[in-house]
Amino acid sequence: MRLTLLVLALVLTGLQPVCGQQTADYKITSLKAKLFYDNQGSFSEDVAQEDTGAFVEPSILWNTPMEGASRVGASSSMLVTVEVSGEYANTRPRRIEFTANYRPLEGSRVILFRRLAPIWIRENGKYVAGFWLYNVGCNPVALSARITGQRSSQPFKRVVRFGCGE
């Protein structure tokens, strides 16, 4: 009876009872992959694309471990960033589950890279998590990120279409 009166009083005054409050879901707003040019110490533009299934020979991503071609330099690693937006100071704990699936430069065994990282939404309503991938450059890399700890969480997917040959 007391709880009913308290809730009724809160509703009549325009305040929301804490027990019934819904928190807004976080949303992945971007997933980017940038080559790290190890001879320059710099990064490329975003090279991740939507996965349409069709392989297109990309000029900047062909033979990336070797210097030359139309890019700044050689690269066998990349930084992947996942941007999440949401409500600042939301206390509901959530994490990014990031996965990358690829065959390394030297080896035939497929690597499944999986990391969980906490999400710390800042005052601007965003958080960017970073993940390094090593030994990449000749085979396509499938990237996926999703948010754990909330009801709706569709994976955000991209692919980096590396290729090697003559």
Backbone φ/ψ region at 41: left (φ over 0), alpha (ψ -120 to 50), beta: left
107, 50, 82, 79 alpha-carbon torsion, rounded to 10°: 40
Q: How many CA atoms does the CB half-sphere of 161 hold within 13 Å? A: 12
The answer to the question of residue 10 being in a domain is no
The answer to the question of residue 44 being in a domain is yes
The CATH number that applies at residue 93 is: 2.60.40
The answer to the question of residue 2 being in a domain is no
Q: DSSP assignment, residue 47? A: -
Q: What is the pLDDT along the chain (166 residues), one digit of tens a residue?
A: 555 544 445 444 444 444 445 668 899 999 999 999 988 899 999 999 987 766 666 566 888 888 765 567 889 999 999 999 998 877 778 999 999 999 888 777 899 999 999 999 999 999 999 999 999 988 899 999 999 988 878 899 999 988 887 7
Burial class of 112 by CB neighbour count within 10 A (0 to 12, 13 to 18, 19+): exposed
Give the H or E element holding residue 4.
helix 2-13
The answer to the question of residue 14 being in a domain is no
The answer to the question of residue 97 being in a domain is yes
The pTM assigned to this predicted structure is 0.81
The answer to the question of residue 49 being in a domain is yes
- The total of structural domains in the chain comes to 1
The answer to the question of residue 107 being in a domain is yes
The answer to the question of residue 140 being in a domain is yes
Domain that holds residue 120: 23-160
